[in-house]
Amino acid sequence: MLIAYEFLFDELAKQLEIYLIETEAHWLRLHFTRIHQISFQNYKLQELQKWCNDIVAKYPDKIFDSEDFFSLQEHALVSLISRDDLQMEEVKIWNRVIEWGIEQNPGLPSNPKNWTHEDFLALKTTLQNCLPHIRYFHISGDGIIDNVRPYKKLLEKNLWKDIKNRSISPNRQVSSIILPPRKILTPTLPIRNTEPFSTVINETHAAEIASWVDKQVNTYSLINNPYEFKLLLRGTSDGFTANSFWNLCDKQTHLVVVMKVEGTDEILGGYNPIGWDKPDGMSYHYKNCNYSFIFSLKNGTIQNSILSRVIQPKEAFFCHSGYGPMFGAGFDLAMSNSFNQNRKCWNAQKSYEKRIRKASTFESSGGSWFSVEEYEIFQISKKT
């Protein structure tokens, strides 16, 4: 895309930019800081810049609290603090803008009390495009005077006077031109069905799985889980057949499999972003994937969830018409009506990094058979 812009293929580059946003948003989020930085290095990347700023406006800590904040380009910072919907306290915006300006002037003394007139002038010059976008009088909480006082020389004389007067008498008329307060967004709670979306997992489990899909360090909350879980298949061990699986799940992508282990509190499952493909006859094949994982969820006496990502991508999934969903060459997690008359599920540890069941459940064959009270297969997609 950047090369296309260099060669003035603007129409092609714009199509690539839109393609990234519409179909590769997951990848963009995984590399958000880098994407944000690159997008503001080329003034033509307007769509990417807007996409990034829309996210930062809602989650400002992604940039303002990042290690790369001080290397932010000036026009990128101005584009953020000029937004009416930036969800950040004005005092913190003021502090971070001042810190950014000081960082651009490494020769300034650390204590503002020791600054000369020339020091203030240097900082004021650096911040000349930023200061007009600070909403001085619309602060949530006290302390604006204390925050502004050390840097009052950066402000116009009348503005500093108005800030002091406004602090003493909030209803007093001011002479300075001030910007309107920023819009505080009220989160909209999702409309919930009276029926639970799953009989195996709950909303908290779903948010945790979604966080693993997006490789988030912090788990999504119930409100900001970006994925919908659409049920494709539900059943029990006794009623499971490979045909039912293939009829409904063949070539479907972004699948989450969950299963409640019979006789325990365990909830096991896995994520397959690329899907299973039914082979002809009794032949079989593996599918290569770098982003799959299996897991055990916190539940009842199970104190902690276990996430196990693929370590042998070439054998991430096993496809066989006589079997159901199969993760790994060692059948790290698998379902089949052909396995065992009473226990149709199997767990081992070979193609994925961690064991998701206790070692005490493993038999001499290097794995463990088990039955499930109920299993479900969901297809997840981004909420619109």
Residue 376 has pLDDT above 90, yes or no: yes
Contact 334, 323 (CB under 8 A): yes
Task: Work out the pLDDT band at 6, boundaries 50, 70, 90.
Answer: confident
Residue 362 has pLDDT above 90, yes or no: no
Q: Catalogue the E-assigned strands of the chain.
A: 227-235, 255-261, 267-272, 284-287, 293-297, 306-309, 317-320, 326-327, 333-335, 345-347, 368-370, 372-382
Question: What is the residue-wise DSSP string for 162-217?
Answer: HHHHHHH-TTS---S--PPPPP-PPPPPPPPPSS-S-SS--HHHHHHHHHHHTT-S
Question: What is the residue-wise DSSP string for 256-283?
Answer: EEEEEETTSS-EEEEEESS---PPSTT-
Return the structure tokens found at 363: 């038999």
Residue 141 has pLDDT above 60, yes or no: no
Maximum separation of any 2 CA atoms in the chain, in Å: 86
Residue 143 has pLDDT above 60, yes or no: no
CA distance 365 to 348: 9
Once rounded to an integer, what is the mean pLDDT over residues 217-239? 88
| Rg, Å, the chain Cα set | 28
| pLDDT tens figures, 39-86 | 998 888 889 999 999 999 988 988 888 878 898 999 999 999 999 999
- The predicted pLDDT at position 268 comes to 97
CA distance 62 to 80: 12
Q: Model-level pTM?
A: 0.52
Residues forming beta bridges with residue 235, ordered by sequence position: 375
Return the structure tokens found at 116: 């000369």
The residue that leads in pLDDT, 89 or 378, is 378
CA distance 292 to 157: 60
Least confident among 185-194, 240-249, 283-292, 337-346: 185-194
For all residues of the chain together, what is the average pLDDT?
Answer: 86
Q: Between helices 90-103 and 74-81, what is the axis angle to 10°?
A: 170
Residue ranges of domains in the chain: 2-168, 203-382
Residue 276 has pLDDT above 80, yes or no: yes
